[in-house]
A and B are shown apart, each in its own frame.
Chain A
Amino acid sequence: MAEETILSDDFLRELINVGEVDILVGVHTYNDASTIGPLVQAIRVGLLKYFPRQRAAIINADGGSKDGTQDLIRAASISDLQHVSRLQALRTLHSISTQYPGGPASGNALRTILAAAELLRASACAVISPDSIIEPEWLERLLRPVTRDNFDLVTPTYRRHKFDGLLIRNLLYPMNRALYSRRVREPYPPDFAFSGRLASHFLSQEVWSQEVGRTGAEMYVTISAIVGDFRLAQSFLGPKSRVEHAPADLVAAIRRSVGTLFWSLEDNFRSWSANSHSEPITTFGPDHELISDPLRVNRKRQYEMFVRGVSELDTVLKAILSPPTLAELQRTATVPEPDFRFPDELWARTVYEFTAAYHKSVISRDHIVQALAPLYRGKAHTFLLENRDSSAEEVESKVEHLCQEFERLKPSLLEMWDGRK
């Protein structure tokens, strides 16, 4: 039986017309017509301004939009048929779009983009999230480290509000940093760039037919580059503004990110177990910037969901956590909201015990990952409370403390991993 192809004949025909490129910018979409116009416009301007001589293409992998998203992407082409007098372009710029099968899934989209990059022999690729509000300069900041300095993966850093990106600062960054020993500020990057070499490496991995490949590809990209000993850098892009959408589904986000991180540890034990300390990676611009303007957030709801979760998931947590950790959690959950604190040490220990439980499959792995969500809400509550009046420097100091806790407790995970504990 012939191997299933992810590229339709029409898309393949369009790729033939594009031909070899130096730079490929991928955008994955699903019903983004209301916002995609400015995004592709910024990409186009960025390519023309910073890479005017390079052969470039914009490739859209769409999850089945019905709102005309694809037409808006295609309209960004610059050719001798579509003369755009405002833009000075040496070359034709193809902006093409395809719908990948299986419904919207960022992993499927990324796989389509990677396949296009490999077929077009792109030497540098960027993936831009449709949820981002970008400036043309982002293209340069992401791609230049690849084209000029031969980095294989460039992850972003952003200027964020201190209460934005809580999952990253309270879990993904500290845990990924401790386990994989690289200080990647955005290990689950919405916008990133990579070399053609790394694109081929990603594409050849066996993950694409698995759930993690379908939904957790961005996290996998970072981990795979670290484990594969590719050259990593991060680049400051600017303010991280998001297109307003419905509130994010926390459980889904944890599945995609933390679930992928847990899953990756199985095959990469030799890699992540070898180092006890993390190392910084090359950073272009600041490795973070925080805005500490006052912002009203509903902490109480986070607290309530934490308390309810600890209570309702008692059976599940008993299977996952050690008795001392569970007891401490339960005791913490009894503290009234104004005095409630989720200590860094307890949080790191809890996460590592979840990690070991996932490894040992003490219950359904999906249930393990889902059960982490209410506990994370408790940690998020503490972060919001403790940093209510903190300056950017104070917030960063607290993040660093949490990271050090994760690094300090890493040996305990290793002990749990091989059953010594």
Chain B
Amino acid sequence: MQVDLSLPPPRYLAGDLAIWIFILAELLAFGVFFAAYAFTRARHPALFEAGQQLLDRNAGAINTLLLLSASALVVRAVQGAARGDGARAAPWLLGAIVCGLAFLGVKGHEYALAFAAGVNLSGGPFQMFYLSLTFFHFMHVILGLVILAVLWHGLRRGHYGPGAMNGLESGAAYWHMVDLVWLILFPLVYVIH
């Protein structure tokens, strides 16, 4: 990728203001939920400790890598489109979608094991928070993938390019938000003891 460093960076918000308002609202909802998790964990440290031992941290780590890769691929796609090379950039987006689907597969496998072990929303504070936070995020990944699929379709048809980046940048920003939330969720729920 080539970035011309001689030009001052353009002072503009990548993507639509509307998506940023939505992203902020989503982050606020996640933020309050995370705070509630931390608050409750502080009140039941032993219970949460025991619950966290049962989580598969390797699966969480793989998923972290998958989402980070997806975000990097989305960046490549956006850069490609910005250079006017939308059609050649489309495969990057397809790669991101594959990573996202893989995330859903890994997470789905984790859920299947958890449900088989009797984990459910009414199974005490840890199980409630684990399922609520991860499922809320899981649904965001699905929505993000729907958005990426729409963008991929548009990119292949040449809808995005220099001067017509709004839709692509907005969708990419949303995907990065989904990624960012996982980067907080993973250490918070899986790692920190």
Bound pair: A and B?
Answer: no
